Structure 1
Amino acid sequence: MDYKSKLTDEMKRCMKAGEKSRLLVVRTLLAAIKQQEVDQQTTLNDEHILAVLDKALKQRKESIAQFEAAGRHDLVANEASEMAVIQDFMPQQLSEAEIASRIDQAFNEVSPSGMQDMGKVMALLKPQMQGRADMAKVSQLIKAKLG
């Protein structure tokens, strides 16, 4: 799946349809991708673009938590709508069972002996799960399994 062309097509569609709020989010995502490309002096592949989208999603989640704590429900609604737009471009989320299965597979491949091997397990899982699972939650599951 070519995320960049999908976002560009959506930007054009939003411009024609006059969907200003959705257009703003899509343009923000394209700008973040372009910024990464300029910073790294390369064209991002889908895996890296997915990481940019995942980061944008995570930023919105953090903002929602902060706005809720401050009682700014008007801003919470705005961030939630932006999250919904970003999620439209994310791959389908993995179920709890799929996450557990992939963690088990990684443990079979790496055979970790303790917490010092957590990085090896995460390195194996991150490319498979980036954007499809909350990596903080995956990390917690791995820590629990490592004991």
Structure 2
Amino acid sequence: MSELKQRITAEMKAAMRAKEKARLGTIRMIQAEIKRIEVDERIELDDARVMAVLDKMQKQRRDSISQYDAAGRQDLADLERQELEVIKTFLPQPLTEEELAALVEQAMDATGAQSMQDMGKVMGILKPRIQGRADMGDVSRLVKARLAG
């Protein structure tokens, strides 16, 4: 079992003991998604793949929050924010703007990227390094800006 999956299980047990219903519900949702993928694909997920699942769930929560805020449904937006906070506890520390800019520079130097046609190469190098630590949409905009000017 991967280290991250073990940590999620341990956190679930701690939430059960502490009777934290909201946290427990979110952790169970995370475990259900991991188990669904494992059953569908008949594989055991490693830490990198679990991180990708958590990153996707984080993005879904952010999208939902913006939609609920736009629709004036503060109650639903607050629920999504609570889930997002629990999901974030399992993700690594987010990158700062400076760290992200440095990683983009390194990836561009490594690929020799000069134009927008090289964006796929740069993103291919960046994605495994920043999975769960930065929003890929923001990274994409940063790379586009660097390649354009």
TM-score bin, normalised by smaller chain: over 0.9
User: What's 1:73 paired with?
Assistant: 74
The offset of 1:39, in angstroms, is 2.0
State yes or no: 1:134 paired with 2:135.
yes
Output the CA distance in 2 between the equivalents of 1:36 and 1:114.
37
CA RMSD of aligned residues (A): 1.0
Distance in 2, Cα, partners of 1:115 & 1:41: 38
Q: Aligned partners of 2:76 and 2:55: how far apart in 1?
A: 20
- What is aligned with 1:45? 46
TM-score, normalization by structure 1? 0.97
- The alpha-carbon deviation at position 75 of structure 1 amounts to 0.8
Bigger drift between 111-120 and 43-52 goes to 111-120
User: In the alignment, which residue of structure 2 is the partner of 1:16?
Assistant: 17
Instruction: Measure how far apart 1:61 and its partner are.
Output: 0.6
Shift of 1:116: 1.4
Where in structure 1 are there 5+ consecutive unaligned residues? Answer: none
Q: TM-score, normalised by structure 2?
A: 0.95
Which digits, 9 at most, give the CA deviation of each residue in 1:20-66, with x for residues without a partner?
A: 11000000001111111122221111111001001111111111111
Gaps of 5+ in 2: none
What is the one-letter code of the residue matched to 1:19?
Answer: E
Identity of aligned residues (%): 50
CA deviation profile, 1:109-142 (whole Å, cap 9, x unmatched): 0001311111110010100000011111000000
Alignment of 1:81-100 (within 5 A): 81-100=82-101
Equivalent pairs counted in the alignment come to 147
Q: Deviations over 1:58-87 (max 9, x none)?
A: 111111111111111111111111111111
The equivalent of 1:117 in structure 2 is: 118
